């Protein structure tokens, strides 16, 4: 299993309950094929550029271990989740 880091930018209109639900959804998804080490809510920040006429977003940082084959599925779910504006998954060096 490899170590990964993922940041998602969530629409700022999502309330605290919605953020908690997204966090639980992706924690559960990652735990099916690996193990979540930490989740950090980095709060609302101004975006470098406008996305869908939105100028700020809430950042969530996931640190986890997973099988490389599971990353494609995680990214697919990120793409089809309406509340997520942008996402990235990066493999960490050992």
User: Looking at the domain assignment, is residue 22 inside a domain?
Assistant: yes
* DSSP secondary structure of 36-60: EEEEEEEEEEEEEEEETTEEEEEEE
Give, for all 94 residues of the chain, the pLDDT tens digit: 899 999 999 999 989 999 999 999 999 999 988 899 999 999 999 999 999 899 999 999 999 999 888 899 999 999 999 999 999 999 988 7
User: Looking at the domain assignment, is residue 51 inside a domain?
Assistant: yes
Q: What end-to-end distance do the CA atoms of the chain give, in Å? A: 11
Q: What's residue 6's pLDDT? A: 94
Q: What is the extent of the structural domain holding 50? A: 14-55+64-82
User: Looking at the domain assignment, is residue 75 inside a domain?
Assistant: yes
Q: What's residue 49's pLDDT? A: 93
Instruction: Give the CA dihedral 77, 48, 58, 50, nearest 10 degrees.
Output: -70
* Number of domain units in the chain: 1
């Amino acid at each position: 299993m490899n170590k990964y880091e993922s940041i998602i930018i969530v629409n700022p209109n999502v309330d605290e309950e919605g953020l908690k639900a997204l966090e639980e959804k992706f924690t559960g998804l990652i735990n099916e094929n690996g193990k979540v080490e930490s989740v950090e809510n980095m709060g609302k920040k101004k975006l470098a550029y406008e996305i869908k006429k939105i100028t700020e977003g809430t950042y969530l940082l996931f640190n986890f271990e997973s099988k490389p084959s599971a990353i494609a599925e995680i990214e697919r779910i990120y793409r089809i989740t309406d509340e997520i504006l942008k996402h990235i998954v990066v493999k960490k060096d050992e």
